[in-house]
Amino acid sequence: VILLCFRRYLLMALTSCLFWNTFGLSAPMDSKPNILLFLADDLGIGDIGCYGNDTIRTPNIDRLAREGVKLTQHIAAAPLCTPSRAAFLTGRYPIRSGMASSNRYRALQWNAGSGGLPANETTFARLLQQQGYTTGLIGKWHQGVNCETFNDHCHHPLNHGFDYFYGMPFTLLNNCQENKPPELDVALQAKLWLYSQIITLAVLTLTAGKLTGLISIRWKIIACFTLAGSLFFISWYSSYGFVHYWNCILMRNHDVTEQPMRLERTASLMLKEAVSFIKRNRHGPFLLFVSFLHVHTPLFTTKKFLGKSRHGLYGDNVEEMDWMVGKILDSLDKEGLKNHTFTYFASDHGGHLEARDGSAQLGGWNGIYKGGKGMGGWEGGIRVPGVFRWPGVFPAGTVIDEPTSLMDIYPTLVHLAGGILPQDRVIDGRNLVPLLRGRAEKSEHEFLFHYCGSYLHAVRWHQKDSGAIWKAHYVTPVFHPPGAGACYGKGICPCFGEGVTHHDPPLLFDLSRDPSEAKPLSADTEPLFDTVVRKVGRAIEEHRRTLTPVPEQLSVYNIMWKPWLQPCCGTFPFCWCDKEGDSTQSL
């Protein structure tokens, strides 16, 4: 009897396996799979092999696409890191959480600013934590740290649903590496230096005039000028003069472990932490968010990868990141977790075209798409890689051309974990599971709104009955020099003011026929022009009715350096430490 039952069970299993494989369908889902998220920083969609690059080697990311699903129209909710990551974590447009800026500072500038992801925003980590997941973040945060004191950690990852954090509360900058030109607020620093020099020259002139008798002035007035000049210099140089110490730090949970960080071992530390997290939590379920510091400038790359690519330092950095992806995937295999893990790879926005060192390109390539990082409407700033793998559940080798968003990860993960979406707020993301499993043919998104800071620059309409993807641009950046395709000399394109052009009627493209946005349509060339423009206009009105006023987290006051908020591993201002020691064994 036992033998008969076993044979019957084996026959049923073989029949089921044959059925799923024969008809190209996915198997039933495990309950509460492990979740592994990879998010690159500033990576262009054209930088990896599975999206057409044949000169930068990315075999591990390509393997994910080969074994899973590749999205070709995966869209970031913002073209810069802070707002894009806020949308990724919350499933909501950044303007809903106050993480969209109306000034020229569109990302957090300091660890010691008071702005950040508000405590009343519910991240996917929080919801998965409530479903029994152990949650971890390794790498970049850039969503703020403190609100009122140096250790209240109101914006910290551990206050947003993560059980474990190891990484940078901020983001990489040129300032983090010696012998690199400063990157943070360069134009303002130049003005402050100029004003300081003018004040110094004025004091010296008055002093010389007093000593030679050419100027009749009291010493008390000269002393006041000197004191005012000194206070002015100290007020700004105490922040901008020590960016390396204030922003370039590593934390483990609530503790600062390196200040300043040592870039030569950062990649090894991040990799070690990710592998260790998987090993510690192999009995699951776990959520591991690996938020790479790669491939943001200064592109610090370990010796093992320097000079190995055909695209200079940038290519070296991409290949090192791909190697790290491979090592983390290997750890899944080693623990026998590959088939029980939902894996995702993406970038927070498009490549940074203006990142250059002379003639050397230090930013990514966005393929056929116009524009790049910082440009709210053009595809190159917001269309990013999107790769999913879940063996046995998602059909391997699938390519999906439907419009999707990084915000969709939020409801997708909540669905996989068996949770319930918050009912007290608008969630802009959509559950991707039916699309990824082949159970749905169309994306649930009809409209996607493309912001630059708090300014709406463009809108995408997915006309499902015809298959057209209309895109209307109401504001576009003014390229410098004209026709260059980027804002060279400015560092990044602006969202408002003299650096943009307003379009009425909007520039209209059909991305299904013109993905490069090379030929704008008009009423003369497109019979549906007026219909499309009216439809998009009504969608904007409806969208704006769903917005409610919230405090602006990226206001000038909130992004200012405040010494009383500075994370410090000593007694401020004596903030330096190295608690990692020699903990970076090779992996």
Buried (b) or exposed (e) across 154-168, using 16+ Cβ within 10 A?
bbbbbbbbbbbbbbb
Count Cβ neighbours within 10 Å for each residue of 536-554 and write b for 16 or more, e otherwise. beebeeebeeeeeeeebbb
Q: Rounded distance, CA 225 to CA 204, Å? A: 10
Token pair recorded at residue 186: 């360069």
Spell out where 85-146 has E strands.
134-140
Catalytic residue check, 142: yes
Q: In whole angstroms, give the CA distance from residue 294 to residue 301.
A: 9
Structure tokens at 517: 């946005």
Total number of residues shown for the chain: 587
Any bridge partners for residue 470, and if so which? 461, 510
User: Taking the CB of residue 255, how many other CB atoms lie within 10 A of it?
Assistant: 11
Distance CA 79, CA 412 (A): 22
Whole-number Å distance between alpha carbons of 585 and 288: 22
φ, ψ at 126 (rounded to 5°): -65, -45
State the Cα–Cα distance between residues 67 and 397, nearest whole angstrom.
Answer: 6
User: What is the rounded CA–CA span in Å between residue 59 and residue 50?
Assistant: 9
Whether the CB-CB separation of 46 and 53 falls below 8 Å is answered with yes
Q: Of 74, 142, 349, 462, which one is the catalytic site residue?
A: 142
DSSP characters over 534-581: HHHHHHHHHHHHT------TTSHHHHS--GGG---SSBTTB--EE--T
Cβ–Cβ < 8 Å for 257, 569: yes
Q: Which stretches does DSSP call E strand in 248-382?
A: 250-252, 255-259, 286-291, 341-347, 356-357, 360-361
List beta partners, residue 251: 167, 256
Are the C-beta atoms of 24 and 276 separated by less than 8 Å?
no
* Nearest C-alpha neighbor of 354 from the set 57, 56, 51, 80: 80
CB atoms within 10 A of CB 208: 11
Rg (C-alpha) for the chain, rounded Å, is 26
Task: Specify the amino acid at residue 194.
Answer: L
Can you say whether the dihedral through the CA atoms of 359, 365, 370, 372 is positive or negative? negative
Pairing of strands 34-40, 341-347: parallel
Planar angle of CA 492, 104, 559, nearest 5 degrees: 115
Task: Decide if 340 is catalytic.
Answer: no
Q: Which of 50, 74, 81, 244 is catalytic?
A: 81
Helix (H) or strand (E) holding 36: strand 34-40
d(CA 329, CA 340): 12
Is residue 357 classed as helix, strand or coil in its secondary structure? Answer: strand
Q: Which two tokens stand for residue 218?
A: 């009291």
Active-site residue set = 81, 142
